[in-house]
Structure 1
Amino acid sequence: MNANVLRYSAFTTDPAGGNPAGVVLDARGMPEADMQRIAAEVGYSETAFLLPREDGTFEVRYFSPLAEVPFCGHATIAATVAHAEANGAGEKVLHTRAGRVRVQVDEQFTATLTSVEPRMAPLDPDDLDRLLAVLRWHRDELDPALAPAVAYAGAWHPIIAVSTRDRLARLDYDFDALSGLMAQRGWTTLNLIWRADADTFHARNPFPPGGVVEDPATGAAAAALGAYLAHNEALPADRVFRVHQGDDLGRPSRIGVTVPEDPREGIRVSGTAVRITDAANQAG
């Protein structure tokens, strides 16, 4: 089967920045095995496959090069901007494996997704020790104001905050060991953060379960971070913040996050996406 695979980079206006995603706007009738194969051939951290429904909503499947994932923020932004460019702005309702996600795309093709209801869980102290060991980090390098935890807004992400930008920049981890631990726990990415000021965070997201050393922009992790900050009463006064990600990879990304007064309504994640035009647009 041949599939028209578009390439978009999310959370950027520059095709050389952000996080690239594959997008198939109409995957109706496509076998799951073909989706997985195409995602592996595309080679991006995720490819999104839209399956339009008769009611105007969409089923969506997300595949990394190695496996299906229940939800992917940057591929959602990429896919809905791609669909809006082809069919017009407005609200897109997605039925993901994690639940129903609404996305509003404005006339400037900025997309804002509203996550599923977020959840929080403690990070087991033994798991924290294992994570620090594979990261080659030490407890005295962590931010004492932001305790490690695990958060969910469509996918589960451990969140570990460090006290300096320099520590975040020096990322060198044991890929196989982290991959094994994350597979055991069902974690999607590891969200490593540094708080620059009240409303600015820098993040890095190792993604070994997907066969990717690091994600340059992770919308699902940004949504989970919003839930985490709300739980810890650590949000800025207006409950809006920005995540800088990908800078250390040479692919700068900017992710906007808004947390409603009741986070159970869903965390809102905003960003732009731009088409990558210098890559082949066929796979399969």
Structure 2
Amino acid sequence: MDNVAFYVVNAFTTSPFKGNPAGVVLNADMLDEDTMQHIARELKCSETAFVMESERADIRLRYFSPKKEVELCGHATIATFHTLAEGGFIRKKELLMETAAGVLEIEILGRNVFMEQARPVFRDVDVEKKEVAEALGIEEHELGDLPVEAVSTGLFSLNIHVKTLETVQKMTPDFERVKELCKKTEVGALFVFTFETVCEDCLVHSRCFAPLYGVNEDPVTGTANGALGAYLKKHGLLHHPQYRAEQGFEMGRDGIIIVEAGERIRVGGEARTVMRGRIEL
């Protein structure tokens, strides 16, 4: 294979410079792991999805951050199925995808792509709120009363409640401390959220810090929002199983995620293709 076609797609937005950009590479069966890692590093998106044939589902996806392979990625999944539908590569509205986190359902509803998340896993962590506040660059009293808890619907993130939108917007994390805290609690990211929002129709406003993946801050994070949905449901904080969440505003990459936390966890949203090209190998 002399060259590889790629797409860059902004997930959770319809705007060209908003949302979370993901790389998408179709027909990736002939690529070895090292080549996929090099392509992900070259594209410099927080994750790049590689589309392959599957014996267990309609397609198989592998995800690579600039540093390593990850089991599941929400925004790269939304980007991938947007690309497949936009290009006429798929006709079905309901599909199965094979990932390292399991075989998950995809549904395309109009312009929105919804992806099923893995079954939630909850884990208590042994960490002091003072340590969390110091990593985030805020005062301990600015943290909310909800428990700091590790949750996974495909990837573990640490859910951290903050009282006010102003605190979330102004925080300047110490990323070396964030790394150490992620290692200590065995999570991939710190997911900070507040119930004060910019958009009136959103339930939560959040930021995601994931330096272990080579991404200090991720603009709009599908799997972490899915994990937060499971967390909010567990703690009785949802009045309706579907809600809208906002993220990426502090980075100028605003995005909106639809979260469903009913019998299963799903995240969904729109996407916009912003770049097409080829990488010479």
Q: 1:35 maps to which residue?
A: 36
2:243 is matched with which residue: 224, 227, 241? 241
In the alignment, is the contact (CA less than 8 A) between 2:82 and 2:113 conserved in 1?
Answer: yes
Partner amino acid for 2:267?
Answer: V
Structure 2 CA distance for partners of 1:268 and 1:123, relative to 1, 3 Å = same
Matches within 5 A, 1:164-183: 164-183=164-183
Report the equivalent of 2:271: 273
> Are 1:156 and 2:153 an aligned pair?
no
Alignment of structure 1 residues 1-284 onto 2, 5 Å? 1=1, 2-53=3-54, 57-86=58-87, 87=89, 88-106=91-109, 108-126=110-128, 128-144=129-145, 146-196=146-196, 200-236=203-239, 238-260=240-262, 262=263, 266-277=264-275, 280-282=277-279, 284=281
Does the residue aligned with 1:125 lie in a helix, a strand or coil? Answer: coil
Q: Secondary structure at the residue paired with 1:5?
A: strand
What code does the residue aligned with 1:268 have?
A: R
State the TM-score, normalizing by the size of structure 1.
0.91
List gaps (5 residues or longer) in structure 1: none
Q: Deviations over 1:204-231 (max 9, x none)?
A: 0011011112111000011001110111
User: Letter of the aligned partner of 1:44 in structure 2?
Assistant: C
Q: CA deviation at 1:89?
A: 4.7
Distance 2:215 2:93 in 1: 32
Mark the CA change 1:141 to 1:92 in structure 2 (over 3 Å): closer, same or farther: same
Deviation at 1:258, TM superposition (A): 1.0
Task: Work out the CA distance in 2 between the residues paired with 1:182 and 1:41.
Answer: 25
Q: Is the 8 A contact 1:80 1:92 kept in 2?
A: no
Structure 1: distance between partners of 2:278 and 2:220? 22
In 2: Cα distance, 1:273 partner to 1:39 partner: 19
Equivalent residue letter for 1:39: A
Give 1:14 deviation, angstroms. Answer: 0.5
Alpha-carbon separation, structure 2, partners of 1:199 and 1:172: 24
Letter in 1 for 2:182: M
Alignment TM-score, normalising by the size of structure 2: 0.92
Total equivalences in the alignment: 275
How far the C-alpha of 1:59 sits from its partner, in A, is: 1.6
